[in-house]
């Protein structure tokens, strides 16, 4: 088969070679150095590099030499052309063994010595199947052709050297080395190196929704050291050339350098590359040089096409087809031997016999003749029928109202069409936590700074209100909308002004255009900006401390007990500044594009005054901390925040204790002061007046302007932290590639120089920014990341220069760790915030190494990782945040139902162990009486010993619980016995996955009812799924929502993606995509159960009817000397299985419901029926075959004995046999069907009517259609005698009576079983209700959390 694929690939290459430049189909095998570019490259090779010269400019000759045989930008996703369709489609269809088998039979029938029918008749089944599939393939390919034509004919501005201007060209005419100019909202036609942006800072924003589904914007940067941006770019003056890596499908990586004529090299990275299919947003004009075109672009190379998976049922079907082949061979051998013996014993025959052929040779000929006669035993139409049935099943799944999300206007997506039945076979479910079990809508809940915890109680009460509103909204009924969401991404174009006026200023014309737009459009343009995330209520105590920053007298080492120390104020200011700037958030407003950095307004205080203010509470070891600007406090919603930040009198002495609603200190500075702050003297006078005034404070008129800011983050964590900083008036107002604009309380707007961004990755588990502070000029590193990493990177000893107070830093670290553990126990997500001040020499040395890593092509990722790790050491711990990620609705009920269905649920998460355990309690994965087995080891030997110890303990517990669990259907969950829950961390999991400990880990985990893997990496997730799938040979399902879950989803037998808050990477890699975790309940328990039982029963029915009808021909051979003769005409023989009895199984496979949906939802235990041999197993297969043999015996010998002694002919004898067989087969399906509708009745009636109409019409009109027999008048003559009907009725009743009795007995017993389930369900519900009345929730953030009663646990 591999050779077939290789030959197919070579044929495609040869056919595409002459179809024009740029027309290329992606190879079917992985790229290699030898196989990468068989057509001639568009570049020069230097190892693994490509050299690109500008097409127009001083290097035109070099470009011509490098671009010989260059492929253009045209794409072709079609498989066929008009010339190649027939040969290539036939070539692909004959990859199927069944098609090859029937082709062999058709050719065999042309051999005279073994010919059984007319030559044309044998070809009919094969031609019908090939024609149906060919029509389907042609329609699909035609749709692809129309799409390719539309894309290739798009126009774009390409620079023309002759006319010295940008001219419109079609996409397919773009070549490597062209300069392409794009405007706002235009789609990028090829992978281009960004050389110019109309933004003065060289920034460009793109939307990658066409690639990964993410609607938030990505920032791209012009190649560094190019001429000043904002002025017109002239391609003639571009003297550089580019060396980069060869085309590949990695969307997140681009390595190379730009070589200047003088020899200098500038490193290139992914932020300099504009990818094909992305859209330019919020940038007036960009210019780039094409480096990859057409099928060499990353987008095209990463498009692997539709995924193909073989279901477990399909693999079993192949085995059953092989048994049918064995049965066919046995029947043909029997006929061959019988014919040889019959000829050998034949004496003086009264009919013509070929006496020259020996009996052995005659038997050999009969063997092949019988292969042709009994060919319908192999179900050629079964494979086509299965595809049709799966399409019907998918249609009903996708249109299920229960699986529709009204809020997102999204329905379930079935991305893989051939594994629907595997949904009914799941035994292990592996789930991510964040975004899968939880909302992934991060909301700032509480924080700890300087070792002091701020609980934000008002914030907690606000979240309770939102929870009540969410539940009320969820209770409303949903109506199924169109598949196309009404949320159009085109609303992003509102920020773009396509006029000649610069985007950096808001013109009256732009305002008029926006005024004409409907108001609901703009709020859809920001990601992760829900009302719940934005409206953070500040903590009163933290507000009181921050108010000291704006008071006329600041504490000097703690003037009073209520006043915060200068060091604590330093930590607080740095903490909120880090929240505001340590991110990649894009800032925009309804009146400004996202890339604009507004001009910094005149500060409320001079820089000298600000320095003096910070020096008053400076502390030498943390001088860099103290010189940073304090955050500005702001609140939302206003109804509560305005009470916190009311203008009033500022005391010169110790601040008295004040209630939240009566606080008078403020950090509020009005917009009037900020806009008219040029006169320092006037500002000071106004400040003094406000300090003396004890009346009502002024309302924050600037809050309206702040509320207009839109934050677009790459993750919900970033958005939550930026909104939290904004709530305390440390507001991020703008961003460019080189600077950040931040509003600070008491200071105004400051521009912070952005030196480097070290983005988050799964190896480092943190993100850092390197900035130069505008006041001190020092280089400062701010980092945020997982607590397990930041706590290790933070200083373990007292900082240099702070030896006189060694206990402070130790206390901060200890108390912060305690707060982290407390947050985790409450189910909060935790992040640590830290910083580091660099000396100039240290920064210069690091920057040289970092620039070298950026300009490297080989091992660039490893060098950048090493560079980041060198910088992020000896950090100063500032504090930690606790973020709420609430459970999705109905998650506990869903997991409980899945467990009752016999599915083991594992949670694989990167969160802390305490957080994962509490979420497991909240979602009912852990019950109060379960025993926790915790595996946290420091060495491989300790891991081996612990796993062995835990395995012994679990086996001992199982042996004690077996007597109590006996006789209870559904296992441990139904009978309420305590189970074992294994909790293992990432480091221990690494050792457990090693070859030496793998078997022990498997044995332990299979004895546990659930496993929770904490701190696990994406690689570990996929390794765990693969281990369970391969070693235990079970059906696995993996569900996740983010890019870190892609590998796990792809490894599992069934992958499910959640279309949540982190883009569409998981959805695009999945087999099925849902919007909520709760949808898995009906998808598996109902649709999975139905799809499996329908398809399994349909396959068994196909095999039954084929075996039953073929045996009629076989029994006849005993009465015709095994000569291969048949008692019916060949047309009826071919059409019987191909047309007359083929449609009813399709309706059966699409519409049959063995159990109502409500019953399956209420009794998840019924899902286990699909795991047992009740539906499809070897013994069920053989029982079906034996039943077919019995029915064929009755169907043949009842007419035989009824017509014994008469002079009836062979066609007349076959007439009641065919009619009885048709009735038996159709009524057999009627007995097996659990659902009967008018569609079933109509199809059954039409099938019977089509048979009788055909045979009557055939018998009246066809004289020479079936030589040598003459069917004229046979059917009409038989149907005119009452004996015909008596024989048909008697045969049908005798044949179906055993099946009818068996089905009645089975349904009676099954109904009793269901009633037992109903009784046990009622008892379980009563017990559950009684238990819940004795419990109280422990955490308002996750109402599903169980009481704090800890279960028994075993920990090393």
**Structure token pair of residue 4:** 């077939």
Cα gap 1233→683, rounded to integer Å: 86
Q: Return the residue matching tokens 């932020």.
A: 271
Question: d(Cα 641, Cα 834) in Å, to the nearest integer?
Answer: 28
Rounded to whole angstroms, the Cα distance separating 205 from 279 reads 8
Distant-in-sequence contacts of 506-515, Cβ < 8 A, 24+ apart: 506/591, 506/592, 510/591, 511/591, 514/590, 514/591
Distance, CA of 516 to CA of 416 (rounded, Å): 44
Angle, alpha carbons 155-188-278 (nearest 5°)? 135
Instruction: Provide the terminal-to-terminal Cα distance of the chain, rounded to the nearest Å.
Output: 52
**β-pairing verdict for 1036-1040 and 1054-1058:** parallel
Of the candidates 191, 212, 432, 574, the residue annotated as catalytic is 432
What whole-number distance in Å separates Cα of residue 1165 and Cα of residue 1172?
12
Q: Which residue has the tokens 């030589």?
A: 1267
Residue 885: φ, ψ to 5° = -125, 95
Long-range contacts (CB closer than 8 Å, 24 or more residues apart) made by 1238-1244:
1239/1147, 1239/1151, 1240/1144, 1240/1147, 1240/1148, 1240/1151, 1243/1143, 1243/1144, 1243/1147, 1244/1144
| Parallel, antiparallel or unpaired: strands 285-292 and 179-183 | antiparallel
Instruction: Specify the 3-state DSSP secondary structure of 219.
Output: strand
Whether 985 is catalytic is no
**How far apart (Å, rounded) are the C-alpha atoms in residues 680 and 1167?**
76
DSSP output for 1286-1341: HHHHHHHHHHHHHHHHHHHHHHHHHHHHHHHHHHHHHHHHHHHHHHHTT-----SS
Q: H or E element: which one contains 961? A: helix 940-965
Q: Which residue has the tokens 């079970």?
A: 1034
3-class secondary structure, 1196: helix
Measured from the Cβ of residue 817, the count of other Cβ atoms closer than 10 Å reads: 17
Asked whether 1212 and 1277 are in contact (CB, 8 A), the reply is yes
| Pairing mode, strands 1353-1355 and 931-935 | parallel
Sign of CA dihedral 431, 433, 434, 439: positive
Place of tokens 């083991």: 904
Residue 188 burial (CB count, 10 A): 24
Asked whether 947 and 963 are in contact (CB, 8 A), the reply is no
User: How many other CB atoms are found less than 10 A from the CB of residue 244?
Assistant: 24
Q: Are 1299 and 1228 in contact (CB under 8 A)?
A: yes
Are the C-beta atoms of residues 1072 and 412 closer than 8 Å to each other?
Answer: yes
Q: Which residues are catalytic?
A: 432
């Amino acid at each position: 088969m591999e050779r077939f694929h290789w030959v197919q690939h070579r044929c495609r290459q040869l056919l595409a070679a002459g179809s024009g430049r740029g027309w290329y189909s992606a190879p079917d095998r992985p790229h290699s150095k030898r196989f990468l570019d068989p057509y001639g490259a568009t570049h020069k090779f230097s190892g693994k590099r490509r050299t690109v010269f500008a097409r127009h400019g001083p290097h035109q000759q070099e470009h011509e030499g490098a671009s010989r045989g260059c492929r253009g930008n045209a794409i072709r996703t079609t498989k066929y052309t008009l010339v190649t369709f027939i040969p290539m489609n036939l070539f692909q269809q004959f990859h199927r063994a069944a098609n090859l088998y029937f082709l062999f039979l058709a050719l065999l029938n042309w051999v005279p010595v073994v010919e059984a029918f007319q030559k044309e008749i044998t070809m009919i089944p094969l031609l019908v199947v090939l024609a149906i599939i060919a029509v389907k393939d042609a329609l699909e390919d035609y749709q692809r052709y129309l799409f390719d034509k539309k894309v290739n004919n798009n126009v774009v501005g390409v620079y023309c050297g002759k006319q010295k201007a940008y001219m419109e060209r079609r996409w397919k005419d773009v070549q490597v080395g062209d300069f392409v100019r794009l405007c706002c909202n235009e789609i990028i036609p090829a992978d281009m190196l960004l050389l110019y942006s109309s933004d003065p800072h060289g920034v460009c924003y793109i939307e990658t929704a066409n690639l990964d589904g993410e609607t938030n914007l990505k920032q791209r940067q012009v190649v560094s050291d190019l001429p000043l941006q904002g002025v017109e770019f002239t391609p003639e003056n571009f003297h550089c050339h580019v060396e980069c890596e060869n085309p590949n499908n990695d969307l997140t990586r681009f390595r190379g350098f730009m070589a200047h004529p003088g020899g200098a090299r500038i490193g290139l990275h992914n932020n300099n590359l504009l990818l094909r299919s992305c859209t330019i947003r919020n940038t007036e004009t960009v210019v780039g040089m094409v480096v990859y075109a057409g099928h060499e672009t990353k987008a095209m190379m990463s498009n692997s096409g539709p995924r193909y998976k073989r279901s477990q049922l399909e693999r079993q079907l192949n085995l059953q087809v092989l048994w049918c082949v064995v049965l066919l061979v046995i029947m043909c051998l029997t006929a061959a031997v019988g014919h040889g013996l019959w000829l050998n014993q034949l004496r003086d025959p009264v009919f013509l016999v070929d006496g020259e052929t020996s009996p052995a040779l005659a038997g050999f000929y009969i063997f092949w003749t019988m292969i042709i006669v009994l060919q319908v035993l192999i179900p050629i139409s079964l494979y086509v029928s299965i595809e049709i049935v799966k399409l019907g099943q998918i249609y009903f799944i996708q249109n299920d109202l229960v699986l529709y999300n009204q809020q997102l206007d999204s329905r379930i997506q079935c991305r893989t069409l051939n594994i629907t039945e595997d949904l009914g076979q799941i035994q292990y479910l592996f789930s991510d936590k964040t975004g899968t079990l939880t909302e992934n809508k991060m909301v700032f809940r509480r924080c700890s700074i300087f070792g002091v915890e701020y609980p934000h109680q008002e914030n907690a009460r606000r979240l309770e209100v939102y929870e009540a509103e969410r539940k009320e909204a969820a209770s409303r009924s949903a109506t199924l909308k169109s598949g196309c969401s009404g949320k159009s991404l085109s609303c992003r174009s509102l920020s773009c002004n396509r006029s000649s006026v610069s985007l950096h200023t808001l013109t009256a014309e732009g305002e008029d255009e926006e005024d004409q737009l409907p108001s609901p459009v703009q709020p859809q343009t920001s990601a992760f900006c829900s009302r719940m995330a934005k409206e953070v209520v500040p903590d009163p105590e933290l507000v009181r401390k921050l108010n000291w920053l704006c008071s006329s007298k600041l504490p000097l080492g703690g003037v009073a007990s209520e006043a915060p120390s200068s060091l604590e104020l330093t930590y607080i200011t740095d903490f909120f500044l880090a929240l505001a700037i340590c991110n990649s958030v894009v800032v925009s407003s309804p009146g400004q594009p996202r890339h604009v950095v507004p001009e910094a307004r005149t500060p409320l205080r001079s820089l000298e005054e600000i320095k003096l203010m910070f020096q008053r509470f400076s502390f030498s070891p943390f001088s860099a901390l103290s010189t940073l600007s304090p955050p500005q406090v702001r609140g939302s919603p206003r109804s509560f925040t305005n009470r916190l930040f009311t203008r009033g009198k500022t005391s010169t002495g110790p601040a008295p204790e004040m209630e939240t609603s009566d606080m008078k200190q403020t950090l509020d500075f009005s917009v009037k002061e900020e806009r008219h702050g040029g006169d320092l003297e006037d500002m000071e006078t106004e400040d003094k007046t406000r300090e003396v005034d004890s009346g009502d404070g002024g309302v924050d008129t600037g809050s309206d302007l702040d509320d207009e800011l839109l934050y677009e983050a790459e993750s919900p964590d970033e958005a939550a932290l930026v909104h939290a900083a904004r709530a305390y008036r440390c507001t991020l107002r703008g961003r460019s590639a080189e600077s950040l604009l931040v509003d600070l309380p008491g200071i105004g707007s400051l521009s912070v120089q952005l030196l480097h961004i070290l983005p988050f990755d799964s190896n480092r588990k943190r993100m850092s920014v390197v900035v130069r502070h505008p006041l001190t000029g020092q280089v400062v590193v701010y980092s945020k990341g997982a607590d397990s990493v930041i706590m290790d990177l933070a200083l373990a000893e007292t900082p240099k220069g702070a030896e006189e107070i060694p206990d402070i830093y130790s206390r901060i670290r200890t108390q912060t760790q305690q707060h982290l553990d407390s947050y985790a126990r409450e189910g909060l997500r935790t992040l640590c915030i830290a910083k580091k001040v660099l000396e100039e020499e240290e920064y210069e040395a690091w920057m040289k190494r970092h620039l070298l890593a950026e300009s490297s092509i080989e091992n660039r990722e490893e060098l950048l990782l090493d560079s980041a790790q060198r910088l992020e050491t000896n950090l100063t711990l500032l504090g930690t945040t606790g973020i709420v990620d609430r459970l999705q609705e109905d998650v506990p009920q869903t997991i409980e139902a899945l467990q009752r269905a016999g599915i083991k649920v594992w949670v694989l998460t990167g969160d802390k162990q305490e957080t994962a355990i509490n979420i497991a309690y909240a979602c009912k994965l852990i019950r109060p009486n379960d025993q926790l087995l915790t595996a946290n080891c420091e060495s491989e030997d300790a891991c081996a010993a612990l796993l062995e110890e835990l395995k012994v303990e679990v086996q001992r517990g199982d042996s004690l619980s077996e007597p109590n669990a006996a006789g209870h259907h559904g296992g441990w969950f139904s009978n309420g016995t305590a189970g074992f829950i294994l909790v293992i961390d990432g480091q221990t999991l690494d050792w457990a996955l090693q070859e030496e400990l793998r078997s022990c880990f498997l044995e332990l985990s299979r004895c546990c009812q659930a496993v929770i893997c904490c701190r696990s990496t994406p690689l570990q997730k996929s390794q765990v799924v693969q281990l369970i799938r391969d070693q235990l040979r079970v059906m696995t399902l993996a569900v996740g929502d983010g890019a870190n879950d892609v590998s796990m989803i792809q490894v599992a037998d069934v992958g499910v993606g959640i279309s949540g808050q982190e883009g569409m990477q998981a959805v695009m890699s999945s087999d099925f995509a849902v919007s909520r975790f709760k949808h898995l309940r009906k998808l598996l328990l109902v649709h999975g159960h139905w799809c499996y039982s329908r398809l399994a029963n349909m396959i068994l029915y196909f095999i039954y009817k084929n075996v039953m009808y073929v045996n009629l021909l076989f029994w006849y051979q005993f009465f015709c000397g095994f000569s291969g003769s048949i008692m019916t005409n060949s047309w009826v023989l071919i059409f019987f299985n191909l047309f007359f009895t083929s449609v009813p199984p399709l309706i059966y496979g699409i519409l049959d419901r063995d159990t109502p949906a409500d019953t399956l939802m209420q009794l998840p235990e019924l899902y286990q029926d699909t795991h047992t041999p009740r539906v499809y197993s070897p013994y069920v297969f053989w029982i079906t075959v034996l039943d077919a043999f019995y029915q064929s015996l009755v169907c043949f010998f009842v007419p035989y004995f009824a017509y014994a002694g008469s002079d009836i002919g062979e066609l007349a004898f076959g007439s009641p046999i065919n009619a009885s067989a048709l009735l038996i087969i159709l009524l057999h399906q009627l007995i097996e069907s659990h659902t009967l509708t008018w569609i079933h009745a109509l199809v059954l009636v039409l099938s019977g009517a089509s048979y009788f109409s055909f045979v009557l019409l055939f018998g009246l009109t066809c004289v020479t259609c079936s030589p040598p027999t003459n069917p004229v008048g046979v059917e009409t003559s038989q149907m005119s005698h009452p004996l015909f009907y008596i024989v048909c009725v008697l045969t049908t009743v005798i044949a179906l009576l055993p099946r009818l009795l068996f089905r009645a007995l089975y349904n009676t017993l099954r109904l009793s079983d269901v009633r037992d389930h109903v009784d046990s369900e009622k008892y379980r519900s009563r017990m559950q209700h009684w238990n819940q009345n004795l419990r109280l929730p422990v955490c308002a953030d996750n109402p599903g959390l169980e009481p704090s009663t800890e279960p028994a646990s075993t920990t090393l």
